[in-house]
Amino acid sequence: MSLNIVILAAGKGTRMKSDLPKVLQPLAGKPLLSHVVTLAKSLNPSSTLVVYGHGGDHVQASMADVALEWVEQAKQQGTGQAVQCALPKLPAQGKTLILYGDVPLTQSSSLDTLITAASETGFALMTVSLEHPAGYGRIVREKGKVVRIVEHKDASAEERAIDEVNTGILCVDNALLHTYLPRLTNHNAQGEYYLTDLVAMAYADGIAIATRQPAAVWEVEGVNDKLQLANLERVWQAEQARRLMLGGLTLLDPARFDLRGSLQHGTDCSIDINVVIEGKVILGKGVRIGAGCHLRDVHIGDHSEIRPMSILESAQVAEDCVVGPYARLRPGAQLADKVHIGNFVEIKNTCLGLGSKANHLSYIGDATVGSHVNLGAGTITCNYDGINKFQTLIGDGAFIGSNNSLVAPVSIGKAATTGAGSVITKDVPDDQLAIARTRQQTVPGWKRPKRQD
Ligand code: UD1
Ligand code: CA
């Protein structure tokens, strides 16, 4: 039997107090809705429909790379009406799982159990027992059987004492949706079309309503404000940290680690506190990441060390390198084995060969640096004339003196040396010394001026 998924995402999210639609608020660096879409896709449904309303264009644009069907709910008149909007796109056969764009952390294993239950009875609800059930729809049972759901605002004092609540997630035969949804009315405290009213209709027709509970309460928690968003962010981060540590990664403090992308690692890697990982980060074996580093889309080879407070983006670091503290590798930085990059050094769109070093205060951009090159403190590649960018080539074994400006396009030969303080504007041949600075002179008989009163 085919599975359809309907994701309700039309709510406004007023309590976010944000111009960004609620379902686009980021959790772990990714919109809430894309967590739900990823989960939905993992269940291999025959179709995934998103019911949108508020901020529709923006929401659709941000999900443009996924195959989704979009259904507009112009006026939000309840969860029942929201599913009604999707009804014309649901086949007569099969079943439908209802998810919510603002409930991001449900696990597929919990949904599998729910879907299996729906296959057996035709109607399955995800419920959870809460210590403080206020606000939620309550599951009303008679002799253990679910007979209806009563919304908090419509509930009697006795019903409000029920601690089993409706999470909103349910899986139902399409045939039942087609039969019951058109019969919904809005005669209730909120004047809305309640999806939950389907339960009483199914019960009246003798259908057994199955219930399943998630493994953890946070799986069914929704996000309505920034506080709840932050709480679920911590839940998600704790889960990632747990998974990574069980996979052999050392996290000096799992509570001070943030993963906003994917992290792959070899054995014996360790990550100190306050490290942020974004995009796709791959670490070899024995890699150490110091405190306060920010890594996005980088590959770091075996036994390399990234010292504290370094920022690496779209960069490749080979084996046995040392980077930082306070280093910045920008897009296109490629370090061969045993390269050392020290404090306040910025590398952009540059390859550095085996064992080369830039240890202090430098900007190396649009350059090709050979092996065993020493770039002295304060080396600057002047790669930009305000309009165009130019390349700097530095041969194997070259030694660039401190405080050099290498005015590109320029090439420094193999084993060439440049004097400290040089402004190099012309190519330097292999093995030669170039000095490009004014000669020092001593002014004979010079006297310091005296203070005039
Ligand atoms: C709903 C359930 C309640 C359950 C609770 C769990 C109903 C009638 N009640 O109540 O039993 O305990 O969720 O959180 O279903 N939405 C739309 N279009 C609408 C209305 C809502 O897309 O017209 C979306 C919202 O964006 C939201 C979700 O549906 O993601 C739930 O809507 P909300 O108004 O928060 O429902 P509750 O009143 O909390
Ligand atoms: Ca809600």
Averaged confidence pLDDT in the chain: 97
Q: Which pLDDT score is estimated for 165?
A: 98
**Tokens standing for 104?**
């991001």
Task: HSE, CB side, 13 Å, CA atoms: give it for residue 155.
Answer: 22
Q: Which pLDDT score is estimated for 116?
A: 98
Atom of ligand 1 nearest to the CA of 51: 22
Structure-token match 């399943």, residue found: 212
What is the C-alpha separation between 164 and 178, in angstroms, rounded?
27
The SS3 of residue 404 is: coil
Domain spanning 3-220: CATH 3.40.50.720: no
Q: What is the pLDDT of residues 381-438, one digit of tens each?
A: 999 999 999 999 999 999 999 999 999 999 999 999 999 999 999 999 999 999 999 9
What is the C-alpha separation between 373 and 357, in angstroms, rounded?
6
- Closest to 126 measured CA to CA, from 139, 140, 135: 139
Q: What is the pLDDT of residues 197-238, one digit of tens each?
A: 999 999 999 999 999 999 999 999 999 999 999 999 999 999
The Cα-based distances of 159 to 103, 104, 192, 303 in angstroms read: 25, 28, 20, 61
Q: Tell me the average pLDDT across 325-344.
A: 98
Q: Which pLDDT score is estimated for 104?
A: 98
Query: Which sequence spans correspond to the domains of the chain?
Result: 3-220, 226-434
Identify which ligand lies nearest to the alpha carbon of 190.
Answer: 1
Ligand 1 geometric centre to CA of 97 (Å):
15
Atom of ligand 1 nearest to the CA of 137: 11
pLDDT cut 90: percent of the chain above it: 98
CATH topology of domain 226-434: UDP N-Acetylglucosamine Acyltransferase; domain 1 (2.160.10)
Q: Tell me the average pLDDT across 227-254.
A: 98
Q: Which pLDDT score is estimated for 72?
A: 95
Q: Which pLDDT score is estimated for 12?
A: 81
- Closest to 382 measured CA to CA, from 350, 398, 412, 404: 404
The Cα-based distances of 184 to 135, 140, 193, 194, 293 in angstroms read: 22, 19, 6, 7, 55
Ligand 2 geometric centre to CA of 14 (Å):
12
What is the C-alpha separation between 173 and 268, in angstroms, rounded?
49
Give, using CA atoms, the residue closest to atom 13 of ligand 1: 168
Helices 108-121/32-42 angle, 10° precision: 50
Q: Tell me the average pLDDT across 265-293.
A: 98
Give, using CA atoms, the residue closest to atom 1 of ligand 1: 168
Asked if pLDDT for residue 114 goes beyond 80, the answer is: yes
Q: Tell me the average pLDDT across 318-330.
A: 98
Q: Which pLDDT score is estimated for 1?
A: 72
Ligand 1 geometric centre to CA of 12 (Å):
11
Catalytic residue among 152, 178, 294, 360: 360
What is the best residue among 25, 75, 79, 167 to mutate for testing ligand 1's pocket, by most ligand atoms within 8 Å of CB? Answer: 79
Q: Tell me the average pLDDT across 85-105.
A: 98
Whether residue 360 lies in the annotated active site:
yes
- Residues whose CB falls within 8 Å of the CB of residue 110, separated by 6 or more in sequence, listed in order: 126, 212, 214, 215, 219
Asked if pLDDT for residue 100 goes beyond 80, the answer is: yes
Q: What is the pLDDT of residues 118-140, one digit of tens each?
A: 999 999 999 999 999 999 999 99
Q: Which pLDDT score is estimated for 56?
A: 82
Pairing verdict, β 164-173 and 95-100: antiparallel
Q: Which pLDDT score is estimated for 57?
A: 87
Taken as a whole, the chain contains a residue count of 453
What is the C-alpha separation between 442 and 260, in angstroms, rounded?
60
Q: What is the pLDDT of residues 45-58, one digit of tens each?
A: 999 999 999 778 89
